[in-house]
Structure formats: C-alpha cells, structure tokens
Chains A and B, each alone.
Chain A
Amino acid sequence: MTEEQVLSLQLDTERLAVFFPLFQAGVGLSVATGCTVKELLTQQFGIPEAYILSRITTIFLNHKAVDDAAGAVITEGATLALSGAMPGLVGATMRTGGHLAALRGAMTYHNSAYPVAKGRGQIRLKLFNLLLDELAPRFLEHGILIQSGELRELGLDADVDLSSWPDPSTLLTLKIQTIRKSP
C-alpha cells in the first residue's frame, strides 16, 4: 500500500477561487463512511446544523435529490453535491423537502432499507453557486484528494515544487490553510 502523500499550502483567501472549477466538477475526499449526510457535514467538517438548514437548500446524493439529510447515508464512492437556493420551477422542485418535490418523479433519493457498514472511504464532493465561497475553504482545510497533474493545471507552480511528483497521476492530499492578505 502506498503511503499517503500530503501537501500543505498557505494561500490568500482571494486565491481560493482557482479551486472552484474543481469543486464544480467534484473533488475527492477521504471520509468516514456509513454515516448520514448530516453527520458527515456536522461532525466531520464542523458545519453548523443551522447553516445546513438555511443555506444548503439542495442536496444530491448519487444524482438524486435528498429530502432528509439525517437519513441519507454516505457510502464508499458516493457523489455528494451541495447547492444554495435555486431559481426556476426545477430549482424549487429540487429543494430539500420542498413543496414541489412531487414534480421530481424518480429523481428523489430514498433511504436504503439495509444497514450500511461504517468504515473509511473516498467520496466525491461537488459545490455549486453561493456555497463555493462559503464552504470550499473548510473542505480545503480538511484536505482534498488531487492528482499532481491537476495541481499543475491550476497554476500553483510558484507556490509548490511539483518536481517531486513527475507522474501527473500521483494522488496527493492537498491541505490549504487560508490566510487573509494584510491590508
């Protein structure tokens, strides 16, 4: 088993936007699995429950709209997408526990009837719209899984010597500590 390679960086807050396209496409996270979406967000990432209720108004787990974050279970390989409030009929339809949920048809996530074993695993996390600014720093601080080639494409060459990882497919855990620029 290869040893986990961790790369820690300090970046100005304003430079974090360079990661936003990655978050839209989905970043890898190493997490404890077998927990609910709510447990993942509150316990592993320290996101306040009040924030989840008021700001994360649309949640997709494996492309299905979640109405109950306390019931939907995270499994190895899952894709979790988080969005703020959306316009349009369909935006309103996708809302967590929304009045228009009936319009979704088969796109609604239903909790599994079977227990899911707890363990560790990788998931894919996507952040959209207003949540990019608000949540990306928290996930970057925790650490995202990223290939060294992707880092190179982000233009962070000046911040880190990437020559240690000539193979662009080398998987790294990137941890970013954000610092505010001095005025």
Chain B
Amino acid sequence: MDKIVRINMGAAGGPQVTTEPAGEFAGLGGRATTSMIIGKEVNPLCHALGAENKLVIAPGMLSGTSGAMSGRLSVGCKSPLTGTIKESNAGGQAAQVLGRIGYAAIIIEGKPAGDDLYKIHVSSAGVKVEVDNSLKLLDNYPLIEKLRGQYGDKVAYMSIGSAGERLMHAASIACTDPELRPTRHCGRGGVGAVMGSKRVKAIILDDSGCKQRAPHDPEAYRDANRKFVEGLRKHPVTGEGLPAYGTNVLTNVLNEAGGYPTRNFTSGVFEGGAKISGEAQAELETKRGGSATHGCHRGCVIQCSGIFNDKDGNYVSKQPEYETVWSHGGHCGIDDLDTIAKLDYMDDNIGVDTIEMGVTVGVAMTAGLCEFGDREGAIRLVEEVAKGTPLGRILGSGAGTTGKVFGVEKVPVVKNQALPAYDPRPIQGIGVTYATTPMGADHTAGYAIATNILKVGGDVDPLKPEGQVELSRNLQIATAAIDSTGMCLFIAFAIMDQPETFQALIDMLNAFYGTNLTADGVVALGKQVLSVERDFNQRAGFTKADDRLPRYFYTDPIAPHNQTFSVTDEDLDSVFTW
C-alpha cells in the first residue's frame, strides 16, 4: 500500500487516471488517510456535490494482511448531509481486496460534464474507467448480479443504488460481503450521493494475482495475531454475545434501561421491545434456516452478523443490526421483525443509510404521513424513495430535511445527521459525543475504546458526572485512532478489558510496519485526526453553536427516568481542549 491512485472524473477528454506515491500518507490507513487528504485537498466551502469535493476510499493499516478483523473500509469526503468533513466505514470484502491490490487510497475527484455513468475497474494491472449506461438506476442487488455476470465472483464490489444516483443526502455506498451481496454500507452522511455526483456507479476491486501483504517481521506478526484472536475468542462479548445474538442483543437492555428511543424520542421504553430483540431475532433466524452467526468479511472471528430468511426459508436480508432494528422498529412503533428485515433489504437495495432512513420515517410519522406502528405505511414511504418520487426525494434527503418540509418541531438531528439508537437524556454521556463529534450525531464516534488502558486523559472517576465530558473526549480520541487502523470497532471490548489483547494489537502494527508504536503514539494519532477534522469544520463555517443537541432534549423530559439533557454548553465546549 505504497501508492495512491487519483481519478479525475472531470478531466478534459474523459476521466484521467494517475498514480502517485503515498508520500506523506504512507503508513496511515482508514479514517486517518481519508480525513487528512480531505483536510488538505478539499476546500471546506465547496458544494459537497460539486467538482471541488473529493471522495477518498482507504483500506485500514492492516487490510489485505492475514490479520484478523482488519476488513474495515473508510470513505471520506465533505458530507452533503452535514456540510462537515465525513468519514464513514463499512465491513465487507472491499478493504481486504484493495489492500492486497496495493493502494493506500483511491481519490475520485472532479465531475464529468454530461449524463454518462461510469464504472471503475481496479486491479494490479491498473485502473480502467469505462462508461456503462446500462447500469443506470439499477439498485444494488440487481446491479451486483449484472456486474457478476461480467466480472465474476472473485472480486469485491462497491456500488451505489438509485438513491446515490439521485444524489439523495441519505445515500450510502455498498460493499459486498463474502457471498457477494451488497449488504455492508458506508452509510452515514450521504457519501453515496458524492459518488453519484462523480457519476461513478460501481467500483470493481480485482485482486487476482495479488498476494497477501507481507509483514516486516512475519513471525512476530503471526504470533501477535494469534494472541489477538485468542483474546477476542475468550472475551464474553466478542466470543459469545455477539456471535450468538449480533448487535441487536442491545435491544432488551436499552429498553430495560429506559434509554431506547421510542416513537421519535417520545419515550425511553418500547412495549414491543422483546418481540424485536436480538434473542427473538436469533431464534427466528435459526428456526427458518438462516443463521444468527455470520462474518461480514473473511478473517472475521467475531461473526456478529447473520442471515434473515422469510417463513418459507428464502433469503430476505442480512441480519439487521441493532441500530436498524431500532430505527425501523421501536423508533417507528413497529414490533415486527419481518417488516424490519424487509425495510433493511430495501435500504440496502436502494442504497440509503438505515439509521437516517428509519429516523426519517419516524419523523414522517410524527408529521402524520402515516401512523406510528403502521408497517405497510413505513414500507410505502421507503418505496417512495425507491421510486424517486418528489416525496421520496424529500425522505431520501434525511430526517432534517423531512422535518423542515413537513413542519415537524422535534427532529432528532445534530449537524443535520439523525441521532442513533440511544437517547441522550438518560444516557447523558453519549449525548456529549452526539453533540460534539465532527461527524454529526454518531454513536461510533466515541466508542467504548480502551481509554483505561491508553490512559488518555488519565483516570476518570466513574461516579463523578463531570466524567461524562472527559470520557467522551477520551473515547473520541481513541476511536479516531482505531478507525485509522481499519480494525472492526467490535474489537473494542476485548482490548478494553484485556491489556494483553490491546498489546497484541499494538504488536501486530509494529510487526507489520517495523515501527515502535506505543499507546502514546495511538493517542497522538487520534488527536491528530480529530484536529484535522475540527479544523475543516471550522473553515466550513461551523462554530461551537453547532455542537449542541436540539433544544427539546434540554426541555422535554423522557420517561421512565424523566431526565432532560443537562450537560452545560461550557462543558460541551471543553471537549476538545487538550
């Protein structure tokens, strides 16, 4: 991964491909690569769908190696949804294949004149950009089927559905899983619309003839990877809970805690929670001949995904994640897993972020477009997005736009991005991250990373409320660093609780690159990434006034704890002081 390929879609005479050394971006990966390129090369005041914006695709630092869990792919740009810098990442096969081909990043820039649609083929032989208007307005599933007919099954695909082509702000970029289904999405922030604005429909990543990336010290790398895998397998979250129930194991617990946002954040408890819980979902999947344990990419040892079949045993969708089950479920008052799985498939097929789309449907329900709990009504609304009707284009622009168009007062967005599945009033600490992350409301921006081991910011007293701000800061720093490695965030639990597993991760990085990275170096990388992102946003016109939750979270208490969000503005403004 010592080179970067730059594709200028707006070059005179047609798209132009150039390859350059990775230079100052060598040795970086994932979010560090995308954010540093965007921070350096994109004018923050540009229109996100204009020629000045760039779409950067980067594998992680260990992608394409034999390292476990190293299959996250980052995509970065200026977001059309938030107007901020954006990094969105996904699993699937793309990162591993791109890493093996040897590119540290693909930069798609410029914008073609005219209406032609392009596909990009990336292999060790080079990069080809071709017009293929036969792909126009195909959604992801039929699109991938068509491409497989030409390129086969030994490649990975990235693609946009009709939502991306129509430049909807909720549009995602799909990455295929090991079964070549377009189920893994860089979902947040409308990155699919940026790909659509470049008129790129699909990227075919072909690593035929390529070998795994070779570590600097193969023996040390193998040993560290073995210890890392052992650590993941012995931890109860990564070794038992996630493989058995997936991320939706959270539904029952969030509901019990009164932190499960229900019917557009009007209650913290959903009476139908048990019906759509991870436990219920796993049982149903197994009973129907699907699977409750499945990896989204080869080399995954956690296997938190699954296959959801209908009652006749036919594939419906991959196992919907917790956030999807919430957004299309409890948030909309829907307690039926079949409906949720259908909506999950529709989102993946159209190519929209399941969080943004589900929250939008809930906002539309508040507006009266259909009733809370109306299963068919929710499906009809998403069908409008699929058809690209005027209503569908509004809904496909996200919760913020939908709320404005229909005059909804209480819309759960920060920086115009929909809040994920955790109410920030009872769980105040996550509200700090929602408000202040450079990405807009994002539950993964300050993940449960090993701040205790990293000692970033020192020890925090868990019983003091001011710890919420300090922990959020520390978690955001640590998450930015992990996002840069390209490792799946779910390694977080094992490295948080088991110092030896954290050390194994550091050892993997050092054995691969021949470096002497320490925990301090990890913290420094996280701070550097966040500083670049904050700087971009400031130059784009964002101020501390944007680092706030919507006002009603401060004024409207939510049952059962009857809490409002009470972290002060001064405390929020102190999150990024280091």
Contacts and interface: CB of A to CB of B under 8 A. Distances in A.
A20 B279 contact: yes
Interface residues of A, number: 41
A65 B426 CA distance: 11
B496 A99 contact: yes
A91 B237 contact: yes
Contact of B236 (A85, A99, A104): A85
Contacts of A55: 236
B447 interface: yes
B130 interface: no
A130 B566 CA distance: 35
A86 B475 contact: no
Interface residues of B, number: 60
B462 A98 contact: yes
Contacts of A63: 256-258, 560-561
Contact of B443 (A20, A24, A86, A89): A89
A128 B462 CA distance: 25
B405 interface: no
A127 to B, nearest CB: 9
Given A24-B277, A91-B253, A105-B468, A17 B245 contact: no
B422 A107 contact: no
B468 A85 contact: no
A85 B428 CA distance: 21
B279 A128 contact: yes
Contacts of B448: 88-89, 91-93, 100
A102 B460 contact: yes
Contacts of B274: 21, 24-25
Contacts of A57: 236
B519 to A, nearest CB: 16
A133 B452 CA distance: 32
Contacts of B475: 89
B426 A106 contact: yes
A67 to B, nearest CB: 8
A102 B253 contact: no
28 contacts: A24-B252, A60-B253, A60-B257, A63-B258, A83-B252, A84-B241, A85-B237, A86-B237, A86-B250, A87-B490, A88-B448, A89-B430, A89-B447, A91-B249, A93-B448, A99-B451, A99-B462, A102-B463, A103-B467, A105-B468, A105-B563, A106-B561, A107-B426, A126-B256, A129-B244, A129-B245, A129-B252, A130-B244
Interface of B: 235-237, 240-242, 244-245, 247, 249-250, 252-254, 256-259, 274, 277-280, 283, 304, 322, 422, 426-430, 433, 443, 446-448, 451-452, 460-468, 470-472, 475, 490, 492-493, 496, 560-561, 563, 566
Interface of A: 17, 20-21, 24-25, 55, 57-58, 60, 63, 65, 81, 83-94, 97-108, 126, 128-130, 132
